[in-house]
Amino acid sequence: MTLNIQRQAPEQSEIMVANNTVANTQQKRLSIGIVGGGIGGVAFAVALSRDSQLDIQLFEAAPQFSEIGAGVSFGPNAVKAIQRLGLEDSYQRIADSSPAPFEDVWFEWRRGSDDAYLTASLASGVGQSSVHRADFLDAIVANLPEGIAHFGKRCVEVQQDADSATAYFDDGTHFTGDVIIGFDGIKSAVRHHVMPPAEYGEITPFWSGTYAYRGMIPTDELEAALEAKGSENRLALVPQMYLGKDRHILTFPVKQSQLINVVAFITDRTTPNPKLSEGEEWVQAVSQEELLEVFEGWSPACQAILECIPEPTRWALHELPELPRYHRDRVLIVGDAAHALVPHQGAGAGQALEDAYVLASLLSDENCDRHTVNDVLAAFEQVRHARTCKVQRTSHEAGNVYEYAGIGIGDNETKLIENLEHRFDWLWNHDPHDDVVAAQLYLA
């Protein structure tokens, strides 16, 4: 469909809606189009919606808000971002935590061959703070004012000029505003505009070499299965990580401890750049037999866990290379669109929430308007880029450590324990408000 729309004054935004009429928005200090309605995008929209001088429009490809996946774990830095975003009450109503006396335990680490305890990583005051992804998204959406979200809007292209930026959608509609923010995930269309292939080459997600088998188990069922194998019930209720060569398994409770989230990983390290088979889907249902075969010979507790997952799904974990930039004039990519990573530090959603808080704080500043917003987006990139790239890099390294492939560590349990007890300190001991302050100094 060819759309011929008269450009409006740049201080207003325009939305081409389904009947091809232009919906004008009331003049505000800044108009912001958000592409992507996952956890990060919705949290960002909620934070911006508190500023009456901002016009916010959020565009989601799906017919309604929805999340794929099961449990998601948040470290102390992510919980701090949730608090800063004003979403703590919504979060705490649904969040799980480690039971007493293990409140501060993020994970206990065990040998996968025999369940032997190695050590624990402690997140003081937070422990294993986790939720079911869909529950968390629903809790955030409840804070989003009416009229901001638009569904069935899959972004296919972004364009901009000196005064505005436009997102085009596959249904023939479009949005024009002062800025476009791409929260549209690892397969981002907005990224294509920020980093055009003619200049940067094709930037596409790559397979990490790791498959993740996922399942959810009713807690009472897992407790019974562990008991039948001679293992203690604590292994169901306290978050666990079972380690082995090229494989590891994690478990933690979700849904008020009614369910146990299980992810079992296996990594192909036989080649430097492993490839998926041609046409292979990223996510597919597989047999329990395949899962049990991958972990044949593992400990009684591990067998009990995996035998409770009759219909596992297998996820080919993809990530992005570290990108040299996230920002191009009036367009910015954030969250997985900018720095998608493997889940081995439980850090992906946390980085999206940090991005959401920092960016919302900067855009809500009364000194940020359509004339200064380019500089504000550049300041955001300046303060966030090094941290998010390091999180990508260390998340990949963490998977190696868990699977006895860490450089200088291998299967040396003394070195392994020392690494696991302290490797997350730099990640967790971070307040995203410090990034806001740094950006403001950069802009001064």
pLDDT of residue 8: 39
CA dist 88 → 85, 215, 293, 335, 436 (Å):
8, 27, 42, 20, 19
Tell me the pLDDT tens digit for each residue of 79-133. 999 999 999 999 999 888 878 889 999 999 999 999 999 999 999 888 888 888 8
How many helices and strands (H and E) does the chain possess? 16, 21
The full set of domain ranges for the chain reads 14-68+135-204+321-412+431-443, 71-132+206-319
Domain spanning 14-68+135-204+321-412+431-443, CATH architecture = 3-Layer(bba) Sandwich (3.50)
Peptide bond into 101 cis (omega under 30): yes
d(CA 225, CA 229): 6
Cα 237 from chain centroid? Answer: 24
In one-letter notation, the amino acid at residue 314 is R
Give the largest Cα separation in the chain, rounded.
73
pTM above 0.85, yes or no: yes
Select which of 154, 214, 325, 423 is catalytic: 214
> Could you tell me the end-to-end alpha-carbon distance of the chain, in angstroms, rounded to an integer?
45
On the question of a common fold for 14-68+135-204+321-412+431-443 and 71-132+206-319, the answer reads no
pLDDT tens sequence across 148-164: 999 999 999 999 999 99
Structure tokens at 413: 């349990």
Query: Is domain 71-132+206-319 classified as CATH 3.30.9.30?
Result: yes
| Residue 237: per-residue pLDDT | 92
- DSSP label at residue 98: P
Q: What local confidence, expressed as pLDDT, does residue 126 receive?
A: 86
Amino acid 157: pLDDT = 97
Q: Is 214 a known active-site residue?
A: yes
Please report the pLDDT score of residue 23 as a whole number.
Answer: 47
- Calpha distance 333→356 (Å, rounded): 11
Nearest to 108 by CA among 281, 246, 301, 297: 301
User: What is the residue type of 352?
Assistant: A
Q: Enumerate residue ranges in the chain where pLDDT < 50.
A: 1-10, 18-25
CA–CA distances in Å: residue 212 to residues 100, 207, 209, 421: 29, 12, 10, 24
Alpha-carbon gap, residue 350 to 347, rounded angstroms:
5
